[in-house]
Structure 1
Amino acid sequence: MKAVVVENYEAIDNVALKDVAQPDITPGMVRVRIQAASVGFVDGLKVRGLYQTRDPLPFTPGTEFAGTVDAVAPDVEGFAPGTPVIGMARSGGLAEYICLPASALFVRPEDVAPEVGASFFANYLTALYSLKVRGTLRQGETLLVLGAAGGVGIAAVQVAKLLGASVIAAASTEAKRQFATAYGADAVVDYTVDGWRDEIKTLTSGRGVDVIFDPVGGDLSLQAFRSIAWNGRHLVVGFAAGSIPALPFNLPLLKGGALLGVDLAQIGRREPDVRDQLIAQLFAWLSEKTLLPVVGKIFAFQDFRDAFKAMTTRSALGKMVVRID
């Protein structure tokens, strides 16, 4: 089979598509024929060896994918060959086949296209877990989404609207702000200009925002926290800006605010029942058509490098997807 293989931590231009052995099925495992895989910010960091943990070399990047069950171990139930699935793994998604535990797979609704499934799971589960469980976002509250046009940012915009919140989307270009508006944002701000926090103050009648969804990090996080309302919650989702901010402890004291971390990789292990409930909610929204997942640009398998490069540009909207089947 063909797979993207990272042999050294380096730029994506030096990573190749290679012929490798098809994975064998061992007890408890399911082999999936992958139809589409997404490329997110974390994937780009892993290829260069810049993520918080390193995948042992050589490895195939890609944590999120959609496809159909190819074969199952004799001790596995519930996943007959041909079943459409969505899955997440530490790595291995940018390949024609992947073998992983049945617990890492979820049956994909028949009317959800592979490209949608591949870009759906991590973004929308992160958004719903962040806002509903960690941030306890309530109907009528105001949410500020930083990096609102990115894959997880636009998911947060959509999920927050389904939870009944008012959404202020912060993005760096006019195209991104229009994109966020098209998917439900009530107001937008340009965080690259001076005075954007004054605009937040005006939009919230001087009160500040109840919840901040922050996948960006850097100095922007510190500025945003200064615009939080009393008893506000700042959700730390990631550091797309490339730097980890240091928050002066007097700010939470003065604001009565809380800083809350969100790590999708740990939810299944630490809170499996919560994860399953949230996934059921997401699938219900999909079936009801109340949630229409956003798919960014779609690339052919041989053009996987372009997907990585597009993901890092200022013009990127949504999550990049590589069509494999």
Structure 2
Amino acid sequence: MKAVVVAQYVPIDQIELKQVPSPRMEAGQLRIRVEAAGIGFVDGLKIEGRYQTRDPLPFIPGTEFAGVVLEAPGAPGGYQPGMHVMGMTRSGALAEEIVVNPDALHPLPDGVTAEVAASFRANYLTALYALSARATIVAGEQLLVLGAAGGTGTAAVQIGRLLGARVIAAASTPEKREFAQAHGADAVIDYTQAGWRDTLKELTGGHGADVIFDPVGGEISVQAFRSIAWHGRHLVVGFAGGAIPALPFNLPLLKGGALLGVDLAQIPTREPEVQKRLMSQLMGWLAEGKLKPAVGRVFALDDFREAFRTMQRRGALGKMVVRISK
């Protein structure tokens, strides 16, 4: 089968698409023909060996996928050959086949394409966990989303609206701000402008942001916290901007504010029941059509490097997806 193979931790331009043996199955596992794989910021860090945990070399990157069950000996989890599924695992999705345990999968709802399914779980579970389980956002609160046109940012805009928040989307270009507004933002801000905090103050009637969803990092994070409302919650989701900010400790004191970490990788082991509940809510919204995940550009498998480069340049609108097979 064809697969993207990371033999050494190197930049994406040095990663190759290779012919490799199909993965071996163990008892209780299923073989999936991968139709589409989503890629995110973490995938890029893993390839370069810059993530907090390292996959043993060599490995096939990619955590999110959608496809069709090829083999299911004993029908583990009730899955049968021919069923369309979506899933998430540690690695292996950027390949024509993947072998997983049944708990990595969900049946694909009717009418949901493979591209949509492959761009769904990581971003939308992150957003719902952050906003609901961590920040406990309530209807009517003011939500500021930084990097609002990226994968997790777009998910936060959409989930924030579903939870009843007033969503203010911060993005760096007119195209990104239009994209955020098209996906549900009530208002937009250009955070590259010197006076953007004044704009935020006007938009919130002097109240500030009750919740800040922050996958960006850098100096913008510190500036955003300076505009947080009393008892506001700042969600630390990631550092797509490249720099880890240093927050002066007097700011949480003066604002009565809280800094809350959001690490999707730890939820399955530390809060499995929370993850189960949130995934049930997300799958319900998806099946009912209340949630329409934002797919960015779709790339052919041969063009996987360009998919990563687009994401790393922060030129992505929505999530990047690699089409593996039809």
Letter in 1 for 2:311: M
- 2:110 and 2:287 in contact (8 A); partners too: no
Q: Secondary structure at the match of 2:296?
A: coil
Tell me the equivalent position of 1:290: 290
Letter in 2 for 1:60: I
Give the CA deviation at 1:24. Answer: 1.5
Mapped partners of 1:307, 1:314: distance in 2: 11
Q: Secondary structure at the match of 1:123?
A: helix
Give the CA deviation at 1:45. Answer: 1.1
Once the two structures are superposed, what CA deviation does each residue of 1:167-199 show, in whole Å capped at 9, x if it has no partner?
Answer: 110001010001101111111111111011111
Q: Secondary structure at the match of 1:144?
A: strand
Tell me the equivalent position of 1:244: 244
Query: Which contiguous aligned blocks of 4+ residues in structure 1 show a shift greater than 6 angstroms?
Result: none
- 2:66 and 2:117 in contact (8 A); partners too: yes
Mapped partners of 1:103, 1:139: distance in 2: 33
Letter in 1 for 2:278: L
Mapped partners of 1:283, 1:75: distance in 2: 22
Q: Secondary structure at the match of 1:275?
A: helix
Mapped partners of 1:152, 1:172: distance in 2: 16
Mapped partners of 1:227, 1:189: distance in 2: 13
Give the CA deviation at 1:271. Answer: 1.5
Tell me the equivalent position of 2:54: 54
Tell me the equivalent position of 1:280: 280
Q: 307-316 vs 288-297, which deviates more?
A: 307-316
Give the CA deviation at 1:315. Answer: 2.9
Letter in 2 for 1:150: G
TM-score normalised by the chain length of structure 2: 0.97
Letter in 1 for 2:157: V
Q: Secondary structure at the match of 1:297?
A: strand
The answer on 1:23 being equivalent to 2:16 is no
Mapped partners of 1:91, 1:306: distance in 2: 19
Letter in 2 for 1:78: G
Give the CA deviation at 1:75. Answer: 7.4
The answer on 1:308 being equivalent to 2:301 is no
Mapped partners of 1:87, 1:314: distance in 2: 25
Q: Secondary structure at the match of 1:292?
A: coil
Mapped partners of 2:150, 2:75: distance in 1: 40
Mapped partners of 2:64, 2:106: distance in 1: 12
Mapped partners of 1:123, 1:34: distance in 2: 19
Tell me the equivalent position of 1:299: 299
- 2:77 and 2:103 in contact (8 A); partners too: no
Letter in 2 for 1:6: V
Tell me the equivalent position of 1:88: 88
Letter in 2 for 1:185: A
Aligned sequence identity (%): 64
Mapped partners of 1:12, 1:151: distance in 2: 19
Once the two structures are superposed, what CA deviation does each residue of 1:235-281 show, in whole Å capped at 9, x if it has no partner?
Answer: 11111011111212111111000111111111121222211211111
Letter in 2 for 1:202: E
Mapped partners of 2:104, 2:266: distance in 1: 13
Letter in 2 for 1:220: I
Mapped partners of 2:193, 2:77: distance in 1: 55
The answer on 1:180 being equivalent to 2:180 is yes
Mapped partners of 2:44, 2:124: distance in 1: 20
Tell me the equivalent position of 1:77: 77
Q: 73-82 vs 269-278, which deviates more?
A: 73-82
Letter in 2 for 1:158: Q
Letter in 2 for 1:71: E
Mapped partners of 1:300, 1:61: distance in 2: 16
Give the CA deviation at 1:132. Answer: 0.9
- 1:137-156 to structure 2, matched below 5 A, reads 137-156=137-156
Unpaired segments ≥5 residues, structure 1: none
Tell me how large the CA RMSD over aligned residues is.
Answer: 1.1
Letter in 2 for 1:28: G
Tell me the equivalent position of 1:157: 157
Tell me the equivalent position of 1:102: 102
Give the CA deviation at 1:77. Answer: 3.1
Tell me the equivalent position of 2:258: 258
Letter in 1 for 2:34: I
The answer on 1:115 being equivalent to 2:115 is yes
TM-score normalised by the chain length of structure 1: 0.97
- 2:301 and 2:322 in contact (8 A); partners too: yes
- 2:11 and 2:48 in contact (8 A); partners too: yes
- 1:25 and 1:72 in contact (8 A); partners too: no
- 1:307 and 1:322 in contact (8 A); partners too: yes
Unpaired segments ≥5 residues, structure 2: none
Q: Secondary structure at the match of 1:82?
A: coil
Give the CA deviation at 1:82. Answer: 1.5
Give the CA deviation at 1:73. Answer: 4.1
